[in-house]
Chain A
């Protein structure tokens, strides 16, 4: 069996009396299309923050490509190809789309610390950013500030910025959250077209999206993994229906 792209062992995190991750053993295979679902407050976003290094676990281990990264700071994890998007769009609102993506490319190429050469002279980085925008159909609005875009387009920029970092593992935190249903199709298409060597973990509430994209599903409830398996199995699982799917049907 090959080394998984990402795995956690006994990941534990609590804030005082509140346990938000309770011994999470998780495995994300190379090139996986994997979804993490669970009711509100199940600890999905906390899991993302733990894995990416924004939060430190109280116990447990995180391995990226076999290497222990539990102690690495966030920036070092990004350099190793562990990249996330945000549930609530977290871009540079007053900068153009092109600059949003260029900033990420400059960080990846480690030219972002340069003090003297004008940013505009790093032509290759800007062209790479522009090519990425073309791939996602954003090139017509390249010079518009992000906060002037429709929210659905901003979600695409969110993905573009993370792709600029050449991820090996990409954590998509509710990629279609807040997007009107008419526009979510574009986002799903973009995710479907992502290169197959990127291991995807999609944290999502929208079941249509999950069942359309994911080959495996992990259900998280109160900080613990309830069950994991292929979509058909999860859809049939009575426990999952009770704590999660049923709850949503009733709503």
Chain B
């Protein structure tokens, strides 16, 4: 048999690397080390899931989107409405929110994914804006500008009550994030995931090797919408509130910034960029409550000038 060194190395790329345990060890340690920051921690974990969903479409399939908040908000409002109208069971709420977001992702994707580039970017924005306005107008149901009132989220499995210190929220978000990450990681390393990278790298060539490019893009867009929806549900359930900001352009933009800080298309960019951004935001806004956005902006400029590819990009450069 021929030397299969290259084949062997190539065939084992999906194996878990010890470093991949690091974010999870840190997350578990943080629970014990920073007990007074658990509510912030839960928000960070949920937002990591949101950024992970954006990484799948942007980093892997190369679909540039400014409408990811549509799915985040769709999930949040679904779970929120259920909880406000007598069904506060969190797990089914989570599944329902993800499913509604996935349906919206699939339906809008069928239409807008026919385009690419800047047109597609604008259309993702349009979808998010339309949903925003629809929710705003349906104030009899959603509370409109005031946000959704009266969510009653039940304890998880009828036992783990969402407490004031955020212990349940933190663990709940951590477990959901972990399961979603496992699924996303599995997908990224599957032939489907690799073909997405092919689409990002050279869409013409993917057509020329006979790949059903449109279908692949739609599938990943739908999966990403479901994950974004799940992250919206996590935020809604753990804070007990849903408002219009869940659907805003701000949120779609910020998640991209967080992802870019961490590094796009690497699956772990979300795990670095989101905590960095949110902890920096938390600190800056305490130190400098009026102008804290300036510091975030400065951080962004430095990253773009000195660290294209984000923090993970920097690491990769040092390893070479």
B154 to chain A, nearest CB (A): 32
Closest to A108 in B: B210
Asked if A16 is an interface residue, CB under 8 A from chain B, the answer is no
Closest to A101 in B: B209
Q: Type the 1/0 row for B155-191, where 1 means its CB is closer than 8 Å to any CB of A.
A: 0000000000000000000000000000000110111
> A90 contacts B202, CB within 8 Å?
yes
Asked if A239 is an interface residue, CB under 8 A from chain B, the answer is no
A73 to chain B, nearest CB (A): 9
Asked if B201 is an interface residue, CB under 8 A from chain A, the answer is yes
B301 to chain A, nearest CB (A): 26
Main secondary structure of the interface of B (DSSP, over half): helix
Q: Which residues in chain B, 1-34, are within 8 Å of chain A measured between CB atoms?
A: 2, 4, 6-7, 9-15
Given A91-B202, A119-B14: A111 and B191 interface contact (C-beta under 8 Å): yes
> A92 contacts B2, CB within 8 Å?
no
A90 CA to B219 CA, complexed, in Å = 25
Given A112-B192, A130-B6, A143-B6: A92 and B198 interface contact (C-beta under 8 Å): yes
Asked if B193 is an interface residue, CB under 8 A from chain A, the answer is yes
> A99 contacts B208, CB within 8 Å?
no
> A142 contacts B6, CB within 8 Å?
yes
> A127 contacts B7, CB within 8 Å?
yes
From A119, A131, A165, contact of B191 by CB (8 A): A119
> A117 contacts B209, CB within 8 Å?
no
Q: Which residues in chain B, 219-273, are within 8 Å of chain A measured between CB atoms?
A: 219
Residues from chain A with Cβ under 8 Å of B6 in the complex: 98, 130, 139, 142-143
Q: Which residues in chain A, 85-124, are within 8 Å of chain B measured between CB atoms?
A: 86, 90-96, 98-99, 102-104, 106-108, 111-123
B1 to chain A, nearest CB (A): 9
A131 CA to B204 CA, complexed, in Å = 25
A77 CA to B208 CA, complexed, in Å = 9
Asked if B216 is an interface residue, CB under 8 A from chain A, the answer is yes
Asked if B211 is an interface residue, CB under 8 A from chain A, the answer is yes
B215 to chain A, nearest CB (A): 8
Q: Which residues in chain A, 230-245, are within 8 Å of chain B measured between CB atoms?
A: none
A119 CA to B187 CA, complexed, in Å = 10
Closest to B204 in A: A90
From B10, B202, B219, contact of A120 by CB (8 A): B10
Asked if B297 is an interface residue, CB under 8 A from chain A, the answer is no
> A127 contacts B211, CB within 8 Å?
no
A165 CA to B205 CA, complexed, in Å = 12
Residues from chain B with Cβ under 8 Å of A74 in the complex: 207-208, 210
> B207 contacts A120, CB within 8 Å?
no
Residues from chain B with Cβ under 8 Å of A67 in the complex: none
Asked if B195 is an interface residue, CB under 8 A from chain A, the answer is yes
Given A112-B195, A113-B216, A115-B187: A121 and B11 interface contact (C-beta under 8 Å): yes
Which of A131, A143, A164 gathers the greatest number of chain B CB atoms within 10 Å?
Answer: A143
Given A121-B11, A130-B6, A142-B6: A95 and B201 interface contact (C-beta under 8 Å): yes
A120 CA to B9 CA, complexed, in Å = 9
Given A92-B205, A96-B10: A119 and B189 interface contact (C-beta under 8 Å): yes
Asked if B98 is an interface residue, CB under 8 A from chain A, the answer is no
> A127 contacts B4, CB within 8 Å?
yes
Residues from chain B with Cβ under 8 Å of A142 in the complex: 6, 10
A123 CA to B192 CA, complexed, in Å = 16
A198 to chain B, nearest CB (A): 16
Asked if B85 is an interface residue, CB under 8 A from chain A, the answer is no
Asked if A207 is an interface residue, CB under 8 A from chain B, the answer is no
Residues from chain B with Cβ under 8 Å of A217 in the complex: none
Closest to B207 in A: A74
A162 to chain B, nearest CB (A): 8
Closest to A165 in B: B209
Residues from chain B with Cβ under 8 Å of A103 in the complex: 194-195, 198, 206, 209
Residues from chain B with Cβ under 8 Å of A148 in the complex: none
> B11 contacts A123, CB within 8 Å?
yes
Asked if A134 is an interface residue, CB under 8 A from chain B, the answer is yes
Pick 13 A–B contacts, CB within 8 A, sort by A.
A54-B204, A74-B208, A76-B210, A78-B210, A98-B7, A103-B206, A107-B209, A112-B191, A113-B192, A116-B186, A116-B190, A143-B10, A165-B210
- Where the two chains meet, the residues of A that have a C-beta atom closer than 8 Å to any C-beta of B are 52, 54, 74-79, 83-84, 86, 90-96, 98-99, 102-104, 106-108, 111-123, 126-127, 130-131, 134, 139, 142-143, 161, 164-165
- Where the two chains meet, the residues of B that have a C-beta atom closer than 8 Å to any C-beta of A are 2, 4, 6-7, 9-15, 186-187, 189-195, 197-198, 201-202, 204-213, 215-216, 219
Give me 7 other A-B pairs in contact (C-beta within 8 A), A84-B208, A95-B201, A130-B2 excluded.
A76-B210, A92-B201, A103-B198, A107-B195, A116-B187, A118-B14, A131-B2
